[in-house]
Chain A
Amino acid sequence: MNGAAAISYDDVVAWITAFAASVRDQKDYLTALDSAIGDADHGINMDRGFQAVIAKLPGLPNRDIGAALKSVGMTLVSTVGGASGPLYGTFFLQLGAATAGHEAIGLDELVAGLDAGIAGIQRLGKADLGDKTMLDTLLPARDALREAAASGASLGDALARTVGAAEQGMLATTPLVARKGRASYLGERSAGHQDPGATSSYLLLKAAADAWSGAAAAS
């Protein structure tokens, strides 16, 4: 059912809820990764932001996926701080703009939305593949999703390929020397540590695949 509206508003809410739970669960792990090459606050800040998001989600006025995702973005910008606030905030704002007015979306809308979200991150952070950032997870994941959509893969298959590419991208950050963000101050010493932002981005996509397994089975 490539391109059909397989992902409902409730699925999107379930995704955000699942990611918030995952961040809470992995809070100490994300902070520990950030202690090695940053300033030991990534898990703490992401958890503060997504708890604020979860508190707001049920009060949204209509079932517009784009409006909900924009609200997620605004909340993150206002509550997370650091670099993660503007970066994840922009990601969701752009994803929301790309899906505005939809009560359900399909793979094609998802690809377009992910594209817009990543473009927003790149505009703000001026980073690229290989800089040891969240983009090392998101760019290969986006490419895998786009290829899967183009080849007519099912939603379940496409998500599995996306998460696989995201995981590989995340793991590939370990040997890299950081060129952006606070880890870049360490120079060569940043090598040998998995990037915390790449890790939270993997958890974000993994949460989508987990939350949408029901929708994938139905499509």
Chain B
Amino acid sequence: MKKLINTPEHAVDEELAGMVAAHGDLIKVIAPNVVVRRDAPRQGKVGVISGGGSGHEPMHGGYVGLGMLDAACPGAVFTSPVPDQMLEATKAVNGGAGVLHIVKNYTGDIMNFELAAELARAEGIDVASVVIADDVAVKDSLYTAGRRGVGGTVLAEKIVGAAAEAGADLKAVTALCQKVQDNVRSMGMALTSCTVPAAGKPTFELGDDEMEIGIGIHGEPGRTRMKLATADEITEMLATPILDDLPFKSGDSVLAFVNGMGGTPLMELYIVFNKLAQILKGRGVGIGRSFVGNWITSLEMAGCSITLLRLDDELTRLWDAPVKTPALRWGI
């Protein structure tokens, strides 16, 4: 394994220190490992926090700042953060208007956020939670932990953060986050595995001529392993189940998000986007907004995911609203 690190034990701490060194005008880091907006808490504004394992950069720490998250709680690599972090984050961003927890649907994240929400409520803070579960690769049934939270999370954080910045109350912000969840679907694939620094070897082995379809964002194996196909065929394999699931219909306008898993060049992501645009056109679905890049990653995994969000005027306006974070900034 070759990695640009010093020691696996200190990788996350050194990453956070580096983020503060680079973006100290926007963020600060408080114990125990919470990335907080520099000017938090903002009185009267709903606080919006999220968190999850590290290794998905720029999510979530890179999205802390004006118009997006007020705080992010990074756990160990691919490991949900602990309740102490979410409790401190909640306290640090509470400006008296309550705090929304945006939680990705993983067993560990759910449990740790739930414990933190209980502790925060015991301290008199109004806490609401919305669970993002947008991965159509997982059958949502009694026999699974439910759909994973993947690319839709980034879109929810941007849109909900914009509404909170504009002064929406906790009830409205919570309902908006649920609206994003109800209108967003994703699916991903991997060309390679990835290596958790502390584990030192790839999470799974994939042959040179193989790919995994239906992966999450933790280097976990997907639902099926197949012979490698072309970018067009892969795009079809990801887009079809997404479109059929919601379903997205002719006349809909979407935010089309092609995401890299960390080790895939932008060139390839645009090849995927080209085919996706053709597929959407064929179905009569308009591309209202587009988003291409490595925004929710699995360390150095090669591969991509596609996320589609059905837009209306409200969601479009909030997507376009100003944002100023280490990773995402426009309109300002």
Minimum Cβ distance to chain B for residue A100 (Å) = 21
Q: How far is the CA of A112 from the CA of B53 in the complex (A)?
A: 35
Stretch of A7-15, A17-25, A82-90, A140-148 contacting B (4+ beta carbons < 8 Å): A82-90
Q: How far is the CA of A172 from the CA of B77 in the complex (A)?
A: 30
Q: How far is the CA of A124 from the CA of B111 in the complex (A)?
A: 7
- Across-interface contacts of A44 in B (CB, < 8 A): 76, 79, 196, 198-199
Selected from A36, A41, A77, A125, the residue in CB contact (under 8 A) with B82 is: A77
B144 within 8 A of A: yes
- Across-interface contacts of B83 in A (CB, < 8 A): 77-78, 86
B115 within 8 A of A: yes
Chain B contact residues: helix, strand, loop or mixed: loop
- Across-interface contacts of B203 in A (CB, < 8 A): 35, 39-40
Task: Determine if B199 and A85 form an interchain contact, defined as CB atoms under 8 angstroms apart.
Answer: no
Those of A107-157 within 8 Å (CB) of chain B? 124-125
Q: How far is the CA of A86 from the CA of B106 in the complex (A)?
A: 13
Q: Are A187 and B112 also in contact (CB < 8 A) when A81-B82, A83-B80 are? A: no
Q: How far is the CA of A31 from the CA of B195 in the complex (A)?
A: 12
From A43, which residue of chain B is reached at the shortest CB distance? Answer: B199
Stretch of B214-222, B251-259, B285-293, B311-319 contacting A (4+ beta carbons < 8 Å): B214-222
User: Using a Cβ–Cβ cut-off of 8 Å, how many residues does chain A contribute to the interface with B?
Assistant: 34
Task: Determine if A187 and B144 form an interchain contact, defined as CB atoms under 8 angstroms apart.
Answer: yes
Task: Determine if A180 and B199 form an interchain contact, defined as CB atoms under 8 angstroms apart.
Answer: no
Chain A contact residues: helix, strand, loop or mixed: helix
Q: How far is the CA of A48 from the CA of B81 in the complex (A)?
A: 13
Q: How far is the CA of A202 from the CA of B219 in the complex (A)?
A: 26
Task: Determine if B78 and A39 form an interchain contact, defined as CB atoms under 8 angstroms apart.
Answer: yes
B139 within 8 A of A: yes
Q: How far is the CA of A37 from the CA of B221 in the complex (A)?
A: 7
- Across-interface contacts of A48 in B (CB, < 8 A): 76
Q: How far is the CA of A155 from the CA of B99 in the complex (A)?
A: 51
Q: Are A83 and B107 also in contact (CB < 8 A) when A40-B196, A40-B199, A179-B144 are? A: yes
B126 within 8 A of A: no
Q: How far is the CA of A78 from the CA of B196 in the complex (A)?
A: 21
Q: How far is the CA of A99 from the CA of B290 in the complex (A)?
A: 58
Q: How far is the CA of A78 from the CA of B88 in the complex (A)?
A: 12
Those of B137-153 within 8 Å (CB) of chain A? 137-139, 142-145, 148
User: Using a Cβ–Cβ cut-off of 8 Å, how many residues does chain B contribute to the interface with A?
Assistant: 36
Those of A179-194 within 8 Å (CB) of chain B? 179-182, 184-187, 189
Task: Determine if B139 and A86 form an interchain contact, defined as CB atoms under 8 angstroms apart.
Answer: no
Task: Determine if B111 and A35 form an interchain contact, defined as CB atoms under 8 angstroms apart.
Answer: no
A94 within 8 A of B: no
- Across-interface contacts of B198 in A (CB, < 8 A): 41, 44
Q: Are A81 and B143 also in contact (CB < 8 A) when A185-B138, A189-B223 are? A: no
User: What is the 8 Å Cβ interface bit string for chain B, positions 267-279, against chain A (1 contact, 0 not)?
Assistant: 0000000000000
User: What is the 8 Å Cβ interface bit string for chain A, positions 65-100, against chain B (1 contact, 0 not)?
Assistant: 000000000000111111111110000000000000
Task: Determine if A35 and B199 form an interchain contact, defined as CB atoms under 8 angstroms apart.
Answer: yes
- Across-interface contacts of B84 in A (CB, < 8 A): 78
Task: Determine if B221 and A181 form an interchain contact, defined as CB atoms under 8 angstroms apart.
Answer: no
Q: How far is the CA of A178 from the CA of B218 in the complex (A)?
A: 18
Minimum Cβ distance to chain A for residue B227 (Å) = 17
Knowing that A81-B81, A85-B80 touch, tell me 20 more A-B residue pairs with CB under 8 angstroms. A39-B78, A39-B203, A40-B196, A41-B78, A41-B196, A78-B82, A81-B75, A82-B75, A82-B79, A83-B106, A84-B108, A85-B111, A86-B108, A86-B111, A86-B115, A124-B111, A179-B142, A182-B107, A182-B218, A184-B144
Identify 7 residue pairs between A and B in the complex whose beta-carbon atoms are under 8 Å apart, listed by A's number: A41-B78, A41-B198, A44-B199, A79-B82, A83-B80, A186-B223, A187-B223
Q: B residues within 8 Å of A by Cβ? A: 53, 75-84, 106-108, 111-112, 115, 137-139, 142-145, 148, 196, 198-199, 203-204, 216, 218-221, 223
Q: Which 9 A-B pairs have the closest CB atoms?
A: A83-B108, A86-B111, A82-B108, A39-B218, A184-B144, A81-B79, A83-B107, A40-B203, A179-B143
